[in-house]
Amino acid sequence: MLKNMLKATVFATTMALAAGAFLAPAFAEVVYNRGTAAESESVDPHKTSTVYEANILRDLYQGLVMQDQNANLIPGAAESWTVSDDGTVYTFKLRKDGQWSDGSPVTAEDFVFAFRRLEDPATGAEYASMLYPVKGAEDVNTKKGKPEDMGVKAVDANTLEVTLKAPTPYFLEMLTHQATYPVNKASMDKLGADWIKPGNLVSNGAYTLAEWVPNDHMKLVKNPKFWDAASVKIDTVNYIPTEDRSSAMKRFEAGELDSYDDLPTEQLADLKTKFGDQIRVGPYLGTYYYAIKTDKAPWDNVELRNAISMAIDRDFLAEKVWQNSMLPGYSMVPPGIAGYTPAVAKYADMSQIDREDAAKKILEKLGYTPEKPLKMEIRYNTSENHKNTAVAIQEQLKPLGIEVTMVNTDTKTHYSFLEQKGDYDVARAAWIADYKDPETFLGISRKASGNNYSNYNSPQYEAAMDKAAAAGGKPEERMKDLADAERILVDDVGNIPLLYFSYKDIVSPKLQGFVDNVMDVHPSRFISKE
């Protein structure tokens, strides 16, 4: 009897295992290993500034409005909204089924708290100036007003009213940015600084933060409380930072990464041959530039800044260093924004030889020659592409009497140094559109901007930007005013624009829903994996 029972048990167990093996694929965890070119600095929406962090925060949180896989505007935490006839009052209706990952409801008060926290000087948010179009926001951030006087009000639990100083055409697009995402006050009050740790973070997006091993991976898992969880196909997203682009290509080829958000451009031709249409390159709203300390001698001399800018051969950078994956850039605002014509540098149409001759005369007038060189330090964040760019510029400037040295740090350290207004001469930087409007590229050079790495400060520029803001209700007039402001910035060489970006992604054919777009935005909630 015992022998027969054992036989029956073994048979039943074998059948069960066989059935389990047959059924396993239907219930297998779907994991997306998402390569990224840099480590995130934080998951606090109010203390981040790079696109690497934006990609992660777009998965963890949901603002009032969001972007879909085509980078088009879609409802987010708000299911609908209305705008007053004069364009200054926005009324958002929040989803009644919107929840935080702890199961508590997402309310209008959460956004009131978040908007006020962004403007609180104690927060130290780089993007505080983003909300300056909101009535009273700038006064709060500059300690001239009270948080309760800001133009943001919870009419009821599901209705948020935001009042602007003037019509702001890009306001809804702006709300897709992580700086405007809600944060959970109850969690902050309870946990203090630990609220952002894995397992603690209470978020309202498609995913929650499960693990974070610095310089190794950040693990996000599907949030069952997300209002649209049923349509989310990826169970786990592992963000895997790999600053060495060549190493990332090897990891992709080995199947360790399903996608990666940059490419070593010196290998671009070979990569296209090897990986075919897995290589994605196309137009991207972004400007690659060098920040230059405009308030530090000798860089406070506009003639000197102009000479350096003129002497840089952008065609060489685009063609030889970046393998035509970038375009030569002579303005801070890249082409491609409807209704706007960028203000380019006045020497843009000169031949490179003529530019170099003009630059040489200026440098000689200022006392700089190969025999008495000007010493200039270029800082850049880890990347073969950025190093090769700096080396090329070093060689271009040397014959004119500029002796360049270079300092390289990892991306997190690099941008932290710039944000904290560290002492440097010239530093590699880039700006990717936060929204499809010229203001996103021009606003970073305003005195109050936390992203004004050059410390550019021009009353004329501020007045021109204020004039453009006041013309918010007249699109054509506003675009002209913005171009006038850019003309001031470009002529002052408040920054040195070098190149216009293209996105450069490598994407496994296993991924579906990773759609090419000019913002290079790819929310994981819209992606599936075979």
pLDDT for 471 equals: 87
- Look up tokens 């991207």; give the residue: 284
User: pLDDT tens for residues 158-201?
Assistant: 999 999 999 999 999 999 999 999 999 999 999 999 999 999 99
pLDDT value for 18: 40
Map out the domains of the chain with their CATH numbers. 39-193 (3.90.76.10), 210-281+504-529 (3.40.190.10), 284-502 (3.10.105.10)
CA 158 – CA 223 distance, rounded (Å) = 21
Contact call for residues 214 and 410 (beta carbons, < 8 A): no
Minimum mean pLDDT among 22-26, 32-36, 104-108, 227-231: which range?
A: 22-26
pLDDT of residue 526 exceeding 70, the answer is yes
Among left, alpha and beta (phi > 0; psi -120 to 50; other), residue 501 is beta
Indicate the SS3 state at residue 431. strand
- Looking only at the bridges linking them, the beta strands covering 426-432 and 374-381 are parallel
b/e map 204-223, b = 16+ CB within 10 Å: bbbbbbbebeeeebbbbbbb
Confidence (pTM): 0.85
Candidates 204, 262, 209; CA nearest to 239 is 209
Residue 308: in which H helix or E strand, if any? helix 302-311
Read off the pLDDT of residues 376-423 as tens digits, 9 standing for 90 and up.
999 999 999 999 999 999 999 999 999 999 999 999 999 999 999 999
Model confidence at 27, in pLDDT bands (50, 70, 90)?
Answer: low
Q: What Å distances lie between residue 471 and 428, 443, 512, CA to CA?
A: 33, 16, 42
Q: Quick check: helix, strand or coil at residue 372?
A: coil
Q: What is the pLDDT of residues 145-162, one digit of tens each?
A: 999 999 999 999 999 999
C-alpha–C-alpha distance, residues 389 and 225, integer Å: 46
The count of C-alpha atoms lying within 13 angstroms of the C-alpha of 22, restricted to the half-sphere facing its C-beta, is 6
Q: Which of 342, 310, 295 is nearest to 483 (CA)?
A: 342
- Is the C-alpha dihedral spanning 16, 22, 23, 25 positive or negative? positive
Q: What whole-number distance in Å separates Cα of residue 177 and Cα of residue 175?
A: 5
User: Please, are residues 176 and 63 in contact by the beta-carbon 8 Å criterion?
Assistant: yes
Comparing 4-13, 351-360, 392-401, 422-431, which segment has the lowest mean pLDDT?
Answer: 4-13
